[in-house]
Amino acid sequence: MNYELFIAKRIIANKKDKSSISSPIIKIAIVAIALGMIVMLISVATGLGLKYKIRDKISGLNGHILLQKFNQSESENTTIPIVLDSTLLQTLKQVNGVKKIQSTATKNAMIRTPKDFEMVVFKGVSSDYDWSFFKDYLQKGSLPQFTKNKTTNTVLISSFLANKLNLKVGDKIVTWFIKDSNDIKAKARSFTISGIYNSGIKEFDSHYVIGDLKIIQRLNKWKPNQVGTIEILIDDFDNLDTVTNKIYQNIDPLIDAVPITEKFPDIFEWISMFDVNITLIIFIMIVIGGINMITALLVLILERTQMIGILKALGNTNKSIRKIFLYNAGYLILKGIFWGNLIGLGLIYLEKTFRFIHLDPDNYYVNHIPFYLSLKYILFLNLGTLILCLLMLILPTYLVSKISPVKAIKFD
Please say if the pLDDT value at position 169 is more than 50.
yes
Helices (H), 18-121: 22-62, 86-93
Is residue 86 a part of any domain in this protein? yes
Owning domain of residue 46: 2-56+268-410
Residues 211 and 316 reside in one and the same domain: no
Report the pLDDT averaged over residues 56-85.
81
Is residue 125 a part of any domain in this protein? yes
Q: Quick one: pLDDT band at residue 13, thresholds 50, 70, 90?
A: low
Please say if the pLDDT value at position 15 is more than 50.
yes
Q: Quick one: pLDDT band at residue 178, thresholds 50, 70, 90?
A: confident
Please say which residue of 253, 286, 302 terminates a domain: 253
Residues 233 and 288 reside in one and the same domain: no
Q: Which residues contact 56 (CB under 8 A, 6 or more apart)?
A: none
pLDDT digits (tens, 9 = 90+) for 315-350: 888 888 888 888 888 999 999 999 999 999 999 999
Is residue 66 a part of any domain in this protein? no
Residues 228 and 318 reside in one and the same domain: no
Question: For position 75, what pLDDT does the model report?
Answer: 46
CB 141 within 8 A of CB 157: no
Residues 302 and 236 reside in one and the same domain: no
The count of domains in the chain is: 2
Is residue 242 a part of any domain in this protein? yes
Residues 306 and 227 reside in one and the same domain: no
Is residue 63 a part of any domain in this protein? no
Is residue 61 a part of any domain in this protein? no
Please say which residue of 197, 218, 253 terminates a domain: 253
Is residue 262 a part of any domain in this protein? no
Q: Quick one: pLDDT band at residue 138, thresholds 50, 70, 90?
A: very high
Is residue 321 a part of any domain in this protein? yes
Residues 131 and 240 reside in one and the same domain: yes
Residues 75 and 222 reside in one and the same domain: yes
pLDDT digits (tens, 9 = 90+) for 268-298: 999 999 999 999 999 999 999 999 999 988 8
Q: What percent of the chain has pLDDT over 70?
A: 89
Q: Which of 5-19, 48-62, 299-313, 378-392 has the lowest mean pLDDT?
A: 5-19
Residues 48 and 188 reside in one and the same domain: no
Helices (H), 177-317: 202-205, 213-219, 240-250, 260-263, 265-303, 305-313
Residues 100 and 219 reside in one and the same domain: yes
Residues 99 and 148 reside in one and the same domain: yes
Residues 237 and 290 reside in one and the same domain: no
